[in-house]
Amino acid sequence: MQIACLALFILLFVNTRFREHVEPDASAHVFFHLDPLILAGTFLASYAVPAAALLALVTLAATLLFGRIFCGWICPLGTINHFVGWLRNRVRGLPDAPAQWSPWQRTKYYLLIVLLVMAAFGINWIGVFDPIALLYRSLTTAVWPALQYAVEDGSTYVYQADPHIGPVHATQVTEPVYRFFRDHIFLAPRQAFLGGGLLLALFAGIVLLNLVQPRFWCRYLCPAGALLGLFARRPLLLRLARRDDDCNACGRCTIGCQGLAAPGHGNPWMAAECFACWNCVSTCNFQALRFTVEPPLRKRPVAGLNLGRRATLGAAAGGLAGLFAFRLTPQAQARAYNPGLIRPPGAREEHHFLQCCVHCGLCMKVCPTNGLQPTTFEAGLEGVWTPMLVPKIGFCQYECNLCGLTCPTEAIQPLPLEEKKRVRIGLATIDTTRCIPYAYERNCIVCEEHCPAPGKAIYAVDTEITTRDGRKIIVKQPHVDPNKCIGCGICETKCPFADMAAIRVTSANESRHPGNQPILVGIGDLEGTAQQGYGGAPAEQTGASPYADPYGQQ
């Protein structure tokens, strides 16, 4: 069951990519929607969740009845931790002394309180710690690109060097491997992400903590586990039945316990810490332990969960402090806009966007140009690892709305393609001190060639210039029409300048922020044939769709 869930998670992960004629479906979101922490955080922060996210209520109900079976059986990060912890015990052997419950296990509850308090005041930092979002983000931005890098560049190195002994070429082995991975495993071009090294290190850290203690993350840190733990303090149906007559107090069950839930002799079972993994039952040589399902009324002694009033209040105060720290920046108060923070098309107004976004990286995974990159501090600490378009790396493909369609919390709205094409995410600016026809006396207009806007937002004007030796020549100098530019960034990606493009896109004029719109769009033609109004979406867009006013102020 555990392996099947992990396999399903990875299958869904691999499947989440562009496929011809296949709209992404909700299956990619199953784990997100099963996760009650994501439901709780997103609901508290934004008061809006997709209906499918209510699936998490099923998880909560199951937890009330049977304890933390989500942690023990479903959570893919839990399975990875379980596996690595098991490996550790295989290699090093089980410790001699039973591991005891540690007060540090309360850490996760305090972390949960901090996150929920912040969420209640509109800062959604759940996704930074949520195991599903964390695992997805780590796989997307670090693990998968690293794997693809190793296979592709390794085989390409052999391909280029072509070592051989007589007729036996090394490529006879490496090329089939390369093709197999390309055609059946990777299926999409390799991606690379800003700060991927840090994300890889953090993920590796979480996995390696299992060497300190099995399931270190789950025992001490996981806020989703903490939330489930609150609901699992007294499972209504599941009981750990101990027959003291058969028990020789050897402690093997406690040593093997994944959650430090004290299943053994002498202590009350700590249901809130138990993953219902059945390790204790299977390690007992005398069948002294059994999980049973019993009617809710028949109570058994179960250890309570005492977090301490003072510590709980402290955690809540910490959450408030974090809240103020996050909101202390001019950008968070919408008095300044970061030119580099170009959000994907359909992204909600920044506050609302951050309230919904769970930092999972799904949008970055599906972006066919690799242009969607994780932020570090561009959106403040509050918005760490949220998506931004970096046109120098990749552009927003005109005929593509995958990021919106795959976003599990609709932080990026699932706009229909025709509507998405009209959303402005930024504005191109020409740097005439570098642009080749302005600065270097020759033609280029690669930007004009690539511009996908109908009728082209970039147009070339034949301009006479005087060359160094005094000749008059005509060059085609590009200009940007703000009425047509949607900020997709292909001009910047394709500009021959690879270090700093001579045409660059900033977040100016983005549809979602009237406060960030310096150019009055639609009044280019002063004779009065304006098609678009100031601030909002194009006129023909209003009314028809459920997202007619996606950028209405909060």
Partner 1 sequence: MTHYSRRDFLTHSARIGGALALTQMGGSSPFAAETPPAMAIAKWAGDPIADADSTTLASMAVKLTEQALDAVGGMGRFVKKGDVVWIKPNMAWDRPPELAGNTNPDVVATLVKLCLNAGAKTVKVGDNPCDAAQKAYATSGIEAAAKNAGAEVIYLDENRFRKMALNGEYLAEWEVYPEIVETDLVINCPIAKHHGITQATLCMKNYMGVVGGRRNAWHQALPACLTDITRFMKPQLCVLDAVRILTGNGPQSSQLQDVARKDTVAVSADILALESFGVELLGNRPEARDIVAKAAAAGLGNPDYKALNPRELAVT
Torsion of CA 100, 103, 105, 108, to 10 degrees: 180
Residue whose C-alpha is closest to residue 276's, from 237, 313, 220: 237
Among 330, 454, 514, 552, binds partner 1 (CB under 8 A): 454
Among 160, 287, 529, 554, binds partner 1 (CB under 8 A): 160
Residue 134: CB atoms within 10 A of its CB come to: 25
Angle, helices 131-138/76-92, rounded to nearest 10 degrees: 80
x/- contact string, 400-419, with partner 1 (CB under 8 A)?
Answer: x-------------------
| Residue 445 is a binding residue for partner 1 (CB under 8 A) | yes
Among 240, 262, 453, 485, binds partner 1 (CB under 8 A): 453
Which positions ≥6 away from 352 have C-beta within 8 Å? 46, 554
> Considering beta carbons, is residue 113 or 486 the nearer one to partner 1?
486
x/- contact string, 140-159, with partner 1 (CB under 8 A)?
Answer: ------------xx--x--x
Min CB(535)–partner 1 separation in Å: 24
Among 97, 498, 528, 543, binds partner 1 (CB under 8 A): 498
> Considering beta carbons, is residue 155 or 375 the nearer one to partner 1?
155
DSSP H/E element including 344: none
CA quadruple 436, 438, 439, 443: dihedral sign = positive
| DSSP result, 52-85 | GGGHHHHHHHHHHHHSSHIIIII-HHHHHHHHHH
Among 208, 442, 534, 544, binds partner 1 (CB under 8 A): 442
Length of the chain, please? 554
x/- contact string, 13-42, with partner 1 (CB under 8 A)?
Answer: -----x-xx---------------------
Torsion of CA 492, 496, 499, 504, to 10 degrees: -20
Min CB(132)–partner 1 separation in Å: 26
Span 369-398, contacts to partner 1 by CB under 8 A: 369, 397-398
Report d(CA 499, CA 237) in Å as an integer: 63
- Amino acid sitting at position 441: E
x/- contact string, 189-228, with partner 1 (CB under 8 A)?
Answer: x---------------------------------------
| Residue 423 is a binding residue for partner 1 (CB under 8 A) | no
| Residue 484 is a binding residue for partner 1 (CB under 8 A) | no
Say how many residues touch partner 1, by CB under 8 A: 39
Report d(CA 257, CA 276) in Å as an integer: 10
Residue whose C-alpha is closest to residue 513's, from 427, 387, 397: 427
CA quadruple 550, 551, 553, 554: dihedral sign = positive
Which regions of 157-219 does DSSP assign to beta strands (E)?
164-165, 168-169
Unique residue bearing structure tokens 């959450």: 319
| Residue 455 is a binding residue for partner 1 (CB under 8 A) | yes
Min CB(499)–partner 1 separation in Å: 11
| Residue 494 is a binding residue for partner 1 (CB under 8 A) | yes
| Residue 504 is a binding residue for partner 1 (CB under 8 A) | no
Unique residue bearing structure tokens 């990777």: 186
| Residue 515 is a binding residue for partner 1 (CB under 8 A) | no
Which positions ≥6 away from 515 have C-beta within 8 Å? 334, 337
> Considering beta carbons, is residue 23 or 153 the nearer one to partner 1?
153
Interface positions with partner 1 (CB under 8 A): 18, 20-21, 152-153, 156, 159-160, 182, 188-189, 368-369, 397-400, 421, 436, 442-446, 448-450, 452-456, 460, 476, 490, 494-496, 498
